[in-house]
Every structure is written in C-alpha cells, then in structure tokens.
Amino acid sequence: MSLSPASGIGRFYKHSAKIIRFVRLGCANRPFYHIVVMERRKNQHQPVIEQVGSYDPMPNESNERLVALNTERIRFWLGKGAHMSEPAAELLGISGLLPVHPRTYMTAWRNRRAAAEAEAAETETSKVDTA
Amino acid sequence: MLPLARAFYSSVARISRNNRVALHTASTLRCKEATVVDNEAPAENSEESGSDASPPDGKDRTKVIPVETSMRYLKSAAYRTTYGEEFVWTQYRRNHKGMYAPRKTRKTCVRQGKISTGNPCPICRDEYLVLDYRNTDLLKQFISPYSGQVLSYSKTGLCQKSHLRLKVAVEQARDCGLLTYDVPFREYDYSEYYGKQEEPIQLKS
Amino acid sequence: MSLLRHFRKLSVEHTRRTLAGSASSNTRQYDKDPQPLFTDAETQRLLQNMTQLQLDKVFRKRTVSDNSTETKFMTTAQLEKEFLQTIVKANKLLQMPPVVKVKEDAQDALITKDAALKDFADTKYVFTDITFGLRNSERKVVVRDVDGSLSYASLDTRKRMNQLYFPLDGRRSYTPRMFSKPELLQRCLEEHKYEFVLDRLTVQYEPYELEFHQISARVFEHLMESKQFDLLRSTRHFGPMAFFYAWHRCIDDLLYDMIRQDYLHNAVELIALSYKIHQIPVDYKQTLGQLDALQPTPGQRALAELRNCLKKPQEQHIQDDIQAAIGKTEQDFAADEISLKFIEEYIGGEHALKKVQLELAVQTLKELNLEKLQLYQGLKKAHGVQASSS
C-alpha cells in the first residue's frame, strides 16, 4: 500500500464533513498511525486531504511514545469545523492543545484502581505466605 | 602443486597479468608467505614441516585471518609482487555471457567455508584481504577520490556479500575517525545563537 | 535496511554528558559568557584578519556528488564581478562557528500538573510541533509524563526530536564513536586530523552544548602542543581557536608560529586581542591603525591575487618583479618595523610566558628582514628603479 503525500491527493469538496483521525499503517503487530484530515465518510485508506502528524504507539528505546503534530494546520481545520475521532481527540488532549478528554481520565482512574487491587492482592498473598 | 611449479606459475601470472589470468594469490604464494606472514599459526600452514597429511586447500576459507595480519600483508613484498601499485580490483574481470555483464554481481563467493565458484571476487580470492574498519589501507582502495563514495560493485567486481561488508567497514571507519571525509558545510544563522545584533564590519573587497 | 541492522550494535547513548572521563575535568572551559566579547565588531575584525584568506585552501578540492564542470566565455567586466562574488563566497565558507556559553536546561519547564491523569499510560508521550516555517530552536516539544504532568522537553530530547523530524545533513542520531571514546579521539588528534574533528563537531553538536566545548577545548590544547597551526589557518575554526588561546592566556605558541612564518600583522592582532579580552591598559588601536593603513586586508589581498591572473606579462614593472622575488613591498618593511616594536613591548611585558623562545624568533626574523631589505635596496639600485614616494 503506497503512502499518500503529506499535502494529500484526496478530492476536496468545500461543504463536506471533514474529520481528523488516524490512518493505521505499518506492518502486522507493528502499527504506526498518520494523523490525517480527510472526508468523514471515506475509508481510512482512501486518499486524504492533508496529513497533519504521526503517532507511533510502540515505545522507543527511551520508553517514550512519539507524536508529531502540525499544530498550525490542526487549528486551521478545527476552525473550519472538522470533526475529530475519539483517539485523535484523546491524543490532542494529552498533548495540551485541547482540554483533556474525559476518556483519558477514566482510563487513568481504572489503571490506578487495577494497580491498587493488584498491590492489595500481592500484600494479601505475602501475608498468607509469612503467616 | 610442487614448489617449483608454483614459482613458475606465479612468474607466468606476473608476465601475463594483462591477459587477466585469475590469481588465486594466497595459494600461489603460500610457500613464500609461510615465513613472512603466518607467524601466528605456523603449524597449519608450513608445508616444510610436513605436519599436514593432505596439501592445503586453496579454496578453504574457514580459517579467520586477524586484521593485524591483513594490515601487515598490505605493506609486505608479497602484496607488492601480486598487485604492484594498482588497486586490488583493477585487474579483475568478471566472466559472463554476452556483451553486457549482469547488473548485479554474484551473491557470494564463499559457501560453507569454501570458495564455491570459479573466478571469485577480488576480496574472496585473496584470504589475506580482510575487510575491517581498522584496515584503512584496503578500504581506501574502494573509495572514489572524486565523490568520496564507496565504488559500485559493477566497477570493483565484488560479490554482494563482500560489497555489503565493505560498506559497513567504511561506515564504521568513518564513525571512528580512522577514515576522513569531507563533512557537509553547516551554515550558522547567527541570530539563533547571538540574538538580534548589528552586523559586524564586513571585509572590504 | 541491512546496513541499519548492523548499526543496532552501535551504542545509542542519548543522555547528555556521556563523554568518558578524561575530557571533562582537565580541559579549560570558558568561565564567563564569552559571547559578548566574541561578537564585538573589533574582535571579529581581528579574528577575520588572523584567519587569512588563502584561496587555494578555502577552495581546495572536495569530494562532491556531482563532478560536472561549466565553461563560460566572459568579458573583463563580468570576470571582475565573478572575482567579487568569489571573495564573498570565500567569506561565507570562513564563517566562524559561534562561541557561546553552555546552555543548561530551563528550571521552570513545567506547564501543568494533573494528578487525575496519573497512570493514564505506562510510558511518556513526547509531542513535537512540526509546523512548517518554524526554526528548530523555537519549535515546541512537550512531554506528558506518566504521573500526568505536562512540561517542556529537556534540551537533549529537543535535539533528538529535531534530528528525527528535521534531520541535519551529516548529524548522527547516536554519538559517533570518535566522540564517545577518548582513545579514538586521541588517535585522530595524533594523526593531526584537526580540521576533520572540528568540522564534524560543528555538525554533530550545537555550539551551546557541553560536549562541543569540551572536545573543541581538547583539540585546541592538543594543537598547542603539536604546533600545527598551519593546518587550521584559513579555515573557519581559526577564529574560535585564536579567541580560545587569547581567553586562556596561552597565545605564546601561536605567536611564535606567526613570527616564524613572518605574519607580523597577525601577531600584533593576536596580542591586541589578548589585551582587549583581559582589559590590559595598553594602547593597541594606534598600532593597528598604522598597520591597517600600510597593509591590505585578506580580502583585498585575495582579490589582487585573482586579478594578477589577468595581467599581461608586458605590463609587469620591474618594481613588481623585485617585490615578487623578495616577497615583501616597501610598505611591508615599514609595517614590520612597527609590528616588531609592538611585539617586543609585549615580550618585555609581564604577560608573555615563553619569553626566550619569542625573543629568539624575533631576533632571527629581524636578521632575515635586514638581509631582505638590503637585497631589495640593492636590486632597486641595480635596476635603476626610482624610490617610491608612498
């Protein structure tokens, strides 16, 4: 599958609904997302209007996930009334460009609870072992 | 081959080098090499001692030659006799059908520790030419003096595996600073480092 | 791709200050901010004069990807314009790398703290702004940590991200072994590859990074011991090198080299620079003014050299022939008188360290100059050339 250029080769219709979302590229078990502005009702692999960033969900050697955002163009398209997909909105919330998405708070809360429960279970088992 | 025949062959090879005779140099000069180069492992190579049951196989490439040996070889008389002042790949010519050689050279000359082809490439045919980042004399022979790039396998005749090992060795040598190259010029925008300043006095021209 | 596989084996150290031991503590560093003194117009002029414009060296043969040449027919006027353009281009190639103080990470990097976002993910997120038209130094790079706090990235992370999204030609994303291993650097210096090391340093590191300062200081100190200053003369690194020596009060080796090679104007400029940096109350401006009136700048000298190619042989005067044979003009002799006086004052003063060596060099040069002057006057008399009244 060939990558489309950043300036996009999709047809532009002035009054159609646009959306900022991910296009999953990469290989099997190795995703890599392009953050892209395109027509909302098209398939993610159809030609896009413009690429405004990238997101690598696999952590690198310094244990970081790298995201590139073309903030100027994202603000332009949001100003023109583009929608956002939920993962894209979450990512922009984490970055600080937009307010944090409630889903991110929910995930954080659930992770903390799971971690606390796991810790509690561990202390229980260690108590049982020592006793 | 008898020592006498071997000496004759090497002299014939020298005379008729222009006819592009394949030089299996290590095998032809093994007698003379034994005393000069192979001080590290005299037992295996010296025929005079007669420790080997069978004569040494010229196509055997299982033995790993250390880099220091290779570096000494490049300065030795044996190397000078074999290659003279030219590069190691200059006198080599590929064998192929028709006018035009295939676009890519062969994948490798050495299979399962032995030379598995006739007319092996310039690096594989001489086992004392070791491609290593420390062996700068050898690496420099494969770098163009005009463009600074590693010469293509279509010019040098190296097999693909040797060409890759050469590229890696050259890159490592440049990384370590053993090989110099022309660093791309970096132009500075002084306003980034000094902030906005008035122009310094320009040289009058 | 197979080449990249081999390079996984190379050490990938991204943290700053990973230079192994020896460079850090022994080398001289700038204690104050050197930038105001370096950017001063007078300092720049002195440094540019010291870095002579030797066209042969500036436009030496380099390896280029494209070896095509162009031949043109030109009128004399067009050629004159080309000469001026050549001098401009040469000055561009001699642009000095900035000398600035070491930049530390900003203390107030935090933007927001959000405890409610703690553990939202198991790794950090690094966001880089890839807006078109921004400078790399102005790009925003923010990091959302695992504990939920949003902060600006450290200088190290910024450099990595800039290199990733906007790669600079020749810069590596890992530290080259030449810089991370001190024995390899030592080997390079012993083989006198100073220009190569410094060129690679300008490309690999920013001038405000600690490694840049440490390694360049190491190079300059090694150069001081080996006295191969000619290798850097007429390159972009000569200016920062002279500034380094003047700042750390070790100009004597360079001075000795300049006197031996008969670059007395440069020697005076170097001494004047060191007086200026350490604010020693000696009046050097007058001497410099006199010398500037007598001798041309490097740019003018290079231009004259270019124009010489156009001169027809019958236009050469006897005067020029004599000057070419001896290597000095009348004005050069007068300038040398003034320079030697100034240099002797410096040697007699309290700031010179290697007085004996410098005295000997000055003495030798004086004798040489005397012989040259006698020869010059003799030749002029022999050919019946009128004494010039300039």
Using CA atoms, how far apart are residues C257 and C261, in angstroms rounded to an integer? 6
Q: How far apart are CA C43 and CA C36, in angstroms?
A: 10
Mean pLDDT of C251-273: 93
Distance of CA C228 to the CA centre of its chain: 14
Q: Tokens standing for C77?
A: 């006027």
Give how far C153 is from chain A: nearest CA, Å.
Answer: 12
Query: Would you call A108 and C120 a contact, using CB atoms and an 8 Å cutoff?
Result: yes
Show the DSSP H helices in B22-135 as ranges.
Answer: 25-28, 30-36, 42-45, 67-74, 77-83, 122-125
pLDDT at B41 over 50: no
Query: How many B-C residue pairs are in contact by the CB < 8 A criterion?
Result: 105
Query: What pLDDT, on the 0 to 100 scale, is given for residue B47?
Result: 47
For residue range C32-73, what is the model confidence (pLDDT) as tens digits? 999 999 999 999 999 999 999 999 999 999 998 888 889 999
Please report the residues numbered 82 through 111 in chain C whose beta carbons come closer than 8 angstroms to any beta carbon of chain B. Answer: 84, 87-88, 91-93, 95, 97-98, 100
Q: Where are the domains of chain A?
A: 16-99, 101-131
What are the pLDDT tens digits along chain A (131 aa)?
466 667 788 888 999 999 999 999 999 999 999 999 999 999 999 999 999 999 999 999 999 999 999 999 999 999 999 999 999 999 999 999 999 999 999 999 999 999 999 999 999 999 999 87
Residue among C2, C10, C13, C39 with most chain B CBs within 10 A, to mutate: C39
Cα separation, C220 vs C241, in Å, equals 6
pLDDT classification of B128: cutoffs 50, 70, 90: very high
pLDDT for residue B30: 53
Distance of alpha carbon A18 from alpha carbon A11, whole angstroms: 12
Check residue A20 and give its pLDDT. 96
List the CATH code of the domain at A16-99. Answer: 3.30.1320.10
Task: Residue A83: count other Cβ atoms within 10 Å of its Cβ.
Answer: 14
pLDDT in tens, B51-99: 556 778 889 999 999 999 999 999 999 999 999 999 999 999 999 999 9
Helix %, strand %, coil % of chain B (to 5): 40, 5, 55
Name the 3-class secondary structure at A104.
helix
Mean pLDDT of chain B: 81
pLDDT above 60 for C175: yes
Asked if residue C389 has pLDDT above 70, the reply is: no
Q: List chains touching B (3+ CB pairs under 8 A).
A: C
Average pLDDT score, chain C: 89
Please give the pLDDT value at position C1. Answer: 53
Give the distance, in angstroms, between the CA of residue C102 and the centroid of all CA atoms in the same chain.
Answer: 18
pLDDT band (50, 70, 90) for residue C319? confident
Least confident of B166-175, C22-31, C76-85, C210-219: C22-31
Per-residue confidence band for C384, with pLDDT thresholds at 50, 70 and 90: confident
Give CA torsion, residues C114, C140, A97, A56, to 10 deg. Answer: -90
Whether the pLDDT of residue B7 is over 90: the answer is no
pLDDT of residue C308: 86
At C14 the pLDDT is 43
Q: Give this complex's ipTM.
A: 0.94
Q: Which two tokens stand for residue B195?
A: 């902030």
pLDDT at C155 exceeding the cut of 60: yes
- What is the C-alpha separation between C273 and C285, in angstroms, rounded? 11
Name C141's bridge partners: C128
Asked if the model's pLDDT at residue C2 lies above 80, the reply is: no
The nearest alpha carbon in chain A to C149 belongs to A94
CA atoms within 13 A on the CB side of C42: 14
- pTM, rounded to two decimals: 0.85
A109/C130 touch (CB, cutoff 8 Å), yes or no: no
Residue B73: which of B138, B157, B159 has the closest Cα? B138
How many other CB atoms are found less than 10 A from the CB of residue B66?
12
- Give the 3-state secondary structure of chain C: CHHHHHHCCCCCCCCCCCCCCHHHHHCCCCCCCCHHHHHCHHHHHHHHHHCCCCHHHHCCCCCCCCCCCCCCCCCHHHHHHHHHHHHHHHHHHCCCCCCCCCCCCCCCCEEECCHHHCCCCCCEEEEEECCCCCCCCCCCEEEECCCCCEEECCHHHHHHHHHHHCCCCCCCCCCCHHHHCHHHHHHHHHCCCHHHHHHHHHHHCCCCCHHHHHHHHHHHHHHHHHCCHHHCCCCCCHHHHHHHHHHCCCCHHHHHHHHHCCCHHHHHHHHHHHHHHCCCCCCCHHHHHHHHHHCCCHHHHHHHHHHHCCCCHHHCCHHHHHHHHHCCCHHHHHHHHHHHHHHHHHHHCCCCCCHHHHHHHHHHHHHHHHHHHHHHHHHHHHHCCCCCCC
Restricting to C residues 131-150, those with a Cβ less than 8 Å away from any Cβ of B are: 135, 137
**Single-letter residue type at C293:** A
- Secondary structure (3-state) at A4: coil
- Does the beta-carbon distance from A70 to C165 stay under 8 Å? no
- Write out pLDDT tens, residues B192-201: 998 766 555 5
Both tokens assigned to A29: 């078990």
Average pLDDT on B18-40 reads 51
Q: Is the pLDDT of residue C387 over 80?
A: no
Average pLDDT over residues B117-132: 95
What is the average pLDDT across C351-378? 90
CB contact under 8 A, C63 and B183: no
pLDDT above 60: residue B136: yes
> C206: nearest CA in chain B?
B193
Q: What percent of chain C has pLDDT over 70?
A: 92
Assess whether pLDDT exceeds 70 at residue B31: no
Q: What's the confidence (pLDDT) of residue C15? A: 43
User: Which of residues 83 through 102 in chain A touch C, CB cutoff 8 A?
Assistant: 94-96, 100
Q: Which residues of C touch B148 (CB under 8 A)?
A: 63
Q: Are C295 and C75 in contact (CB under 8 A)?
A: no
What is residue C379's predicted lDDT score, i.e. its pLDDT? 87
CA distances from C87 to C45, C71, C94, C263 (A): 16, 20, 10, 21
Angle at CA of residue B142, ends B138 and B147, nearest 5°: 135
Which chain B residues are Cβ-neighbours of C91 within 8 angstroms?
203
Could you tell me whether strands C110-112 and A50-55 are parallel, antiparallel, or unpaired per DSSP bridges?
A: unpaired
